Structure 1
Amino acid sequence: MKATQQLHELGQSLWLDNITRTMLDDGTLARYIADFSVTGLTSNPSIFEAAMAEGDAYDDGIKAKSQAGLSGEALFTELALEDLRRAAKLFKPVFDATKQVDGWVSMEVSPLLAADTAGSLEAARLIHDQGNCPNLFVKIPGTPEGVPAIEEAIFAGIPINVTLLFSCQQYLAVAEAYMRGIERRIAAGLDPKVGSVASVFVSRWDVASNKQLPPELHNKLGIAVCQQTYRAYRELLASPRWQKLAAAGAQPQRLLLASTGTKDPSASDTLYISALAAPDTIDTMPEKTLLALADHGQLHGVMPTDGGDADATLAQITKAGVDIEALALKLQQDGAQAFVKSWHQLLQRLSDKVGSLGAAKA
C-alpha cells in the first residue's frame, strides 16, 4: 500500500500545496485525487505567480477579462477563483461524504492586508461572496492584526484557513479566536458549523535555525514545534469548553501542517511527512513531495498526542542559542513580507501579460 493511502486511512488528509490551470486542463489533479488520496488543496500568491509564469494557459482568460474591464487585483482574483471553483468541484464528493470536514480549496486575501484587521475582514467577505463556493476557505494570516479578523469572519459564517502560524502560542491564539467566533454564533442563534483550519508551517523553522545548531539538532526544530502544537490541539479538543461547542454542532478547527517540503538536500525528501503523521489533521505538501511520498515514502508511526520528546528537543535547541519565541515572530513577519513580494510580482506579471496580449479595454 502506498504511503499516501496509509496516511489517508490513518485519518490524515493529504492536500496539494499547488494549483495551476494546466493541471486542471490535463487531468493531473484528478489523477492525484484518484491515485494519491489527495482530498484538498491550498494556494498562495507565490503559487499563482509561478502558475501564471508558465506557458499560455491563462492567456485567453487574461485577454477576455481585461477586455471586459478587469485589471490588477480584480483580474487576478477572478482568474484564481476560476481555477479554485474547478478544483472545488473535483473535491465536492469528498466534501459531501465527510460532512464538510474535508475536500476544501483555499484562496488568500491580499498579503498587503496582513496588518489591517478591518481590511482583512472586508477582503474575506468579498472573496467568500465572489467565490460562491461551499468548499472554499478564505486564508487570513494569523498575525496579531489577523486574529480579530479571524474571529469576526467566523462569526460572519465565512470558512477560514488561518495561515502563517509558526508556534504553539500563535496556534492557540487563533484557536481561541475560532472558539469565540463560534460561541458568539451560538449566542446569536446561528448555526455553529463553520469550517476552519489552522496552518502551522514546518520547514521554515529549520531553514532559519540549522546554521545556528550543531548537526545532531538539524531539522529537529520544525518537527518539535509541531509535536508541541499537536499536543495543544489534542488537549483543546478534549477540553470541556470545546466539548460543549461540539455538542452544539460545531466542527473542530483542524490542525494543518504546512510547508512540509524538505529544504535540506542532505535530509530525506519525505522527512516531515513521515514525522508528522497524525489522525484528524491535514498535511499540505508541494507536488514534488507528494510524488516522492507516493513513490518511496515510508511512515514511522504516529505523532504522539503527549508531544513525545518535543519539550526535551526544544530545551536543547534553546540551550544551543536559538530564541524560539523571537524566531517564531520573525518567521511570521518574514513570511508575510515574502507574500507581499510575490503579490507585487504577480500583479506585475499580469500587467505585462495584458500588455503583450494587447488585451486592455480600449
Structure 2
Amino acid sequence: MKPTRLLHEIGQSLWLDNITREMLDDGTLQRYITELSVTGLTSNPTIFDEAIARTAAYDAGIAQKARAGLAGEALFTELALEDLRRAADQFRPIFEASRGEDGWVSMEVSPLLADDAAGTVEAAKAIHAQAARPNLFVKIPGTAAGIAAIEETIYAGVPVNVTLLFSREHYLAAAEAYLRGIERRVAAGLDPQVRSVASVFVSRWDRAVADGVPAALHNRLGIAIGRRTYVAYRELHASARWAALAAAGARQQRLLWASTGVKDPNARATLYVEAFAAPDTIDTMPEKTLHALTEHGEIKGAMPADGGDADAVLAEFAQAGVDVEALAARLQGEGAQAFVKSWRQLMQRIADKSADLGPQRAA
C-alpha cells in the first residue's frame, strides 16, 4: 500500500500545500487526488506570488481584470478564487462523501489585517461569499486580534482555517475561540456545524534553534511541540464541554500539521510527515514532500496518544537555554511579518503586470 494511502488508513487527511493554474490546467491536481490520495489543499500569498512570477499562466487573467477596472487586492482575490473554485470543485465529491470533514481548500485574508479584528471578520465574510463554494476555508492568523476575529467569524457561520499557530498554548487559544463561536451559535438556535481547522507550524521550530543547541537535539523540537499539542487536542475532545457541543451537533475543529517540509538538507525528507501521522488530523505538505513520501516514505504507525517522549525532549531544550514560550511568540510574529512582506510583494507584482499587460492586451 502506498504511504499516502497508509496515512488515510491511520485516520489522517493528506492535503497539498500548493496551488497553481498549471496544475489545474494539466491535470496534475486531479492525478494527485486519484493516485496519491490528496483530499484537500492550502494556499497563501507566497504560493500565489511564486506561481504568478514563475509562469505566464496568469497573464491573460490579470490583463482582463485590469482592463475591467480591478486592481490590487480586488484583482488578486478574484484571480486566486478562480483557481480555488476549480480546486474546490475537484474536491467536492470528497467533501460530500465525508459530510464536510474533508475536501477543503483555503484562501487567506489580507495579512495587513492581522491586528484588525473587525476588518478581518468583514474580509472573511466577503471572501467566503465571493468564493461561493461551501468547501472553502478562510485563513485567519492566530494572533491576539485574530483570535477575537475567529470567534466572530465562526459565529457568523464562515468556515475558518486558523493559521500561524506554533505551540500548544497557541492551539488552545484558537480552540477556545472556536468553541465560544459554536457555543454562541447553539445558544442562538443556529446550526452548530461550522467547520474549522487549527494549523500548527512544525519545521520552523527546528530551523530557529539549529545553531544554538547540541547536534543531538537537531530536528527534535518541532516534533516534541507537535506531540504535546496533540495531547491537548485529544484532551479537549474528551472533555465534558466538548461532549455537550457534540451532542448539539457540532463537529471537531481538526488539528492540521503545517510547514511539514524539512528545512535541514541533512534530515530525512519525510521526517515530519512520518512523525505526525495521527488520527483525526490533517497533514498539508508541499509537492516536494508529497513526492518524497510517495517514493520512499515509511509510515510505521501513529503518533503516541500520550505524547511519548515530548516532555522529556522539551526538558532537554530548556536545559539548553531554549525558552519555548518566548520562541513561540517570536515565530508567530516573524510568520506574520513574512506574510505581510509576501503580500506587499504580491501586490506590487500584480500592479507591475497590470501596467505591462493591460494596455498591450487591450490594443
User: What TM-score range do you get, normalising by the shorter chain?
Assistant: over 0.9
Report whether the alignment pairs 1:32 with 2:36.
no
CA RMSD of aligned residues (A): 1.0
Is 1:45 matched up with 2:45?
Answer: yes
Q: Aligned residue for 2:13?
A: 13
Paired residue type of 1:317: F
Return the alpha-carbon distance in structure 2 between the equivalents of residues 194 and 208 of structure 1: 35
After TM superposition, the structure 1 stretch with the greater mean CA deviation from structure 2, 112-121 or 82-91, is: 112-121
- Alignment partners' CA distance in 2, 1:8 and 1:129: 31
* Residues 62 and 359 in structure 1, CA contact (< 8 A), matched pair in contact too: no
Please give the secondary structure, in 2, of the residue aligned with 1:15.
strand
Contact map agreement 1:42 1:105 (CA 8 A) in 2: yes
Q: What is the 5 A alignment of 1:1-362? A: 1-359=1-359
Task: Give the aligned residue type for 2:344.
Answer: H
Superposed CA deviations along residues 65-96 of structure 1, whole A, max 9, x for unmatched, are 11111000000000000000000000000000
Structure 1 window deviating more from structure 2 (4-13 vs 249-258): it is: 4-13
Contact 1:205 1:222 survives alignment (8 Å): yes
Shift of residue 269 of structure 1?
Answer: 0.3
Residue identity in the other structure for 2:163: T
Change (3 A) 1:359 1:80: farther
TM-score, normalised with respect to structure 2:
0.98
Residue aligned with 2:183, SS: helix
Aligned residue for 2:307, secondary structure, equals: coil
**Identity of counterpart residues, as a percentage?**
69
Q: Is the 8 A contact 1:275 1:300 kept in 2?
A: no
CA distance in 2, matches of 1:203, 1:163: 14
Q: CA deviation at 1:358?
A: 3.1
Runs of 4+ residues over 6 Å off in structure 1? none
Equivalent residue of 2:144, what SS? coil
CA distance in 2, matches of 1:142, 1:55: 32
Distance 2:322 2:119 in 1: 34
On the 8 A contact 2:128/2:158 being kept in 1, the answer is yes
Deviation at 1:359, TM superposition (A): 4.2
Q: Is the 8 A contact 2:194 2:250 kept in 1?
A: yes
Counterpart amino acid of 1:236?
Answer: L
Which whole-Å deviations, capped at 9, do the CAs of 1:307-354 have from their partners, x for residues lacking one? 111001001001101111000000000000000000011011111111
Deviation at 1:300, TM superposition (A): 2.8
Cα deviation for residue 227 of structure 1 reads 0.2
One-letter amino acid of the structure 2 residue matched with residue 155 of structure 1? Y
Query: What secondary structure, in the 3-state scheme, does the structure 2 residue paired with 1:321 have?
Result: coil
The residue identity in structure 2 corresponding to 1:255 is L
**Preserved contact between residue 67 and residue 358 of structure 2 (Cα < 8 Å):** no
Summarize the Cα distance change of 1:252–1:335 in structure 2 as closer, same or farther, 3 Å threshold. Answer: same
Where does structure 1 lack aligned partners over 5 or more consecutive residues? none
Write the distance in 1 (CA, Å) between the matches of 2:247 and 2:304: 26
CA deviation profile, 1:123-148 (whole Å, cap 9, x unmatched): 11110111111000000000011001
SS of residue in 1 equivalent to 2:290? helix
